[in-house]
Amino acid sequence: MSAFSRFTPLISALPSTVPFVGPEALERQRGLTVKARIGANENGFGPAPSVIAAMGERAGDIWMYNDPENFELKQALAAHLGVQAANIAVGEGIDSLLGLITRMVIEPGTPVVTSLGGYPTFNFHVAGFGGRLVTVPYVNDREDLDGLLEAVKRENAPLVYFANPDNPMGSWWDAEKVVAFARALPENCLLILDEAYSETGPASSLPAILDMIDLPNVLRTRTFSKAYGLAGARVGYVIGAPETVLTFDKIRNHFGMNRLATVAALAALKDQAYLTEVVGKIQAAREVIGTIARDNGLLPLASATNFVAIDCGRDGVYARAIVDGLIQHGVFIRMPGIAPLNRCIRVSVGPKQDLDLLAEALPQVLKAIG
């Protein structure tokens, strides 16, 4: 039987790909068991007990669709952030929201500015809608704000992506620099300010909500996947000016949100004491990862996220050998994909038993690869 022939030219030209190889796929491909899952920037400490209890109590409601207006969660987020519900849009994780934002702005051939080596899922969406990526190299392992601004102006780009704190390097810019960058952008360029790690960085890295809420060309994306420990629930949200946020209602999947995930997010917002506790655990785990790196002659980079990028001192081939060696010990980590960032490996925080496995396996791997 011949293949279906009426896909669009764009879809026909794109490769079928998954931007990330998950630990489950590695287990299937290599016939091994992942013992320490510290590679996907998940929060291995998990959600609050109150969140798990709330989901259990409401599990019987799963036969119902979620409220297509996400009214309760938007109200709760607005109260938590000190804004109006009209400033909030909810979606199935930041990844889904990035796809919607890209769809709002991009047509085939449209230039889109991002950092070379930055979050690949954003690039995936840009390619999926036919955009033309314009990339700016990192400088000193941070996204280059001056370079991004120059590229936007040079290309007359309608969309720019900037993550603060950053994935994959864990670096960050202080709030005043972020606000200045946002306000320096042309009014016809939409900024995606990805703040997935907003809860785990220093307070100085996070602009106050009111510092940019008046800018109709800024959308700040946040998530319950990281500090709140709900990566599998897929709950993200956008903060922006009402007239911009309202655009999501034109194209979003109105029944896309999971009812129990919404219950979990509401319970997580209420349990700020647990959030404070787990952020402390994340900070402590970053220190442990840094110690393990230094004990093995590697250099941990300062991090404002729930992971640590570790400079291995050579090149991407060497870093890949470390990643591949560790998985043979059941330790799952990742690495950046673009030079010179790929001289590093990236280790997510996790409970003590996971980091103990890393500490045990890493010197064996380094010795084996020489």
CA atoms within a 13 Å half-sphere pointing along the CA-CB vector of 236:
25
Average pLDDT, the chain: 97
Share of the chain above pLDDT 90, in %: 97
**pLDDT tens per residue across span 251-287:** 999 999 999 999 999 999 999 999 999 999 999 999 9
pLDDT, average across residues 112-135: 97
pLDDT, average across residues 144-151: 98
Q: Are strands 159-163 and 132-136 parallel, antiparallel or unpaired?
A: unpaired
- Are 167 and 302 members of one domain? no
What's the confidence (pLDDT) of residue 239? 98
What's the confidence (pLDDT) of residue 180? 98
What's the confidence (pLDDT) of residue 18? 83
Last residue of a domain, one of 238, 270, 302: 270
CA atoms within a 13 Å half-sphere pointing along the CA-CB vector of 160:
30
Close Cβ partners of 331 (under 8 Å, ≥ 6 residues apart)? 34, 35, 36, 38, 354, 357, 358, 361, 362
- Are 205 and 120 members of one domain? yes
- Are 104 and 160 members of one domain? yes
Give the H/E segment covering residue 316. helix 316-327
CA atoms within a 13 Å half-sphere pointing along the CA-CB vector of 121:
15
Last residue of a domain, one of 240, 270, 300: 270
**pLDDT tens per residue across span 296-348:** 999 999 999 999 999 999 999 999 999 999 999 999 999 999 999 999 999 99
User: At residue 10, does pLDDT exceed 80?
Assistant: yes
46: nearest Cα among 177, 240, 227, 313: 227
CATH number at residue 225: 3.40.640.10
The verdict on whether omega for the bond into residue 340 sits within 30 degrees of 0, i.e. cis, is yes
CATH number at residue 332: 3.90.1150.10
